[in-house]
Amino acid sequence: MEAPTLRDVYQAKKTIAPHIARTPLHYSAGLSELLSAEVYVKHEEYLPLGAFKQRGGVNLLANLTEEERAAGLITASTGNHGQSVASACRMFGVRAMVCLPENANPNKVKAMETLGAELIFHGENFDAARMHGLQLSREEGYRFVHPVNEPLLIAGVATASLETIEDLPDVQVLVVPLGGGSGVSGACIVAKSIDPSMEVLAVQSEQSPAGYRSWKEGKIVEAQNETFAEGVATGTGYELAQQIIGDLLDDFLLVNDDDIRRAVATLIDKAHTLAEGAGATALAGALKYPEKVKGKKVAITVSGSNTTIEQLRQALDAY
């Protein structure tokens, strides 16, 4: 697998433009005061599916061969990636199958059903569902869509960071949540291609630290996968993302699940923004390590808003 380039990201921007509207980058006075920085929020939760992953799905489907489309697509997801693939398959008239952990977010499950995906529940976590999907693809001949090791997905989601820099050319720091790593690796490709001095910070839950440990140790590592924030809940690092961030990422911050819950509430209180756990993870990193952003011009990505009432209640209780 070859990592996508900035040229690929610009091509993805052109590909997805007819299907996906640009999302806003808003200055937040409340977060700026709280963090002693000039803080802007990249509102990926404004996308129709409520998450940044939609960009990658459209870019992937638009570039598949007729043979791949005819075979049907199968993937694995905790929700947002599955919605992205289901939505893009519906757009292009392709059969979509999504393998999910048995405890998947019910709101995201309903969304995927509504988008026409065939849902296959398997295992206790994302990685068990992913391995089951891979096995089915080998047995039945479906085109397996890896949630991270797909250059077209990374190029697609990287368009969010490209928009951020276009809207705020003098931004100094991009703070992005990391689950599998497509969003962070896309941010690294864009930022470092445009200005190597621009910093990219990844943030992950210490309850699911496989991405962090893989980056830290320079090899693919498996680790516990227990975070409530399903969008950053992965139990292993992934080759393509780790290849990219191993070369380009400036720093990697770990937060705990209570930090994430408080960040969900902080976004509501200070930025009038609703986020799911994964969507608030980047802010959780900035709040826990304020020295990383103090005095700088910072863009914080809210990657999604597909939360449940119970998760939101827990976040408000933790505030």
Q: Which residue in 21, 161, 142 sits closest to 85, CA to CA? A: 142
Determine the straight-line distance between the first and last CA of the chain, rounded to whole angstroms: 43
Query: Can you tell me which residue has the tokens 């640009």?
Result: 22
Residues 178 and 232 sit within 8 Å (Cβ to Cβ):
yes
DSSP 292: G
φ, ψ at 279 (rounded to 5°): -65, -25
What is the distance, to the nearest Å, from the Cα of residue 21 to the centroid of all Cα atoms in its chain? 18
Residue 245's Cβ-count burial label (10 Å; 0-12, 13-18, 19+) is buried
Is the CB of residue 12 less than 8 Å from the CB of residue 155?
A: yes
Cα–Cα dist 236/149, whole Å: 13
- CB-based contacts of 251: which residues, under 8 Å, 6+ apart? 199, 201, 202, 292
* Residues designated catalytic: 53, 303
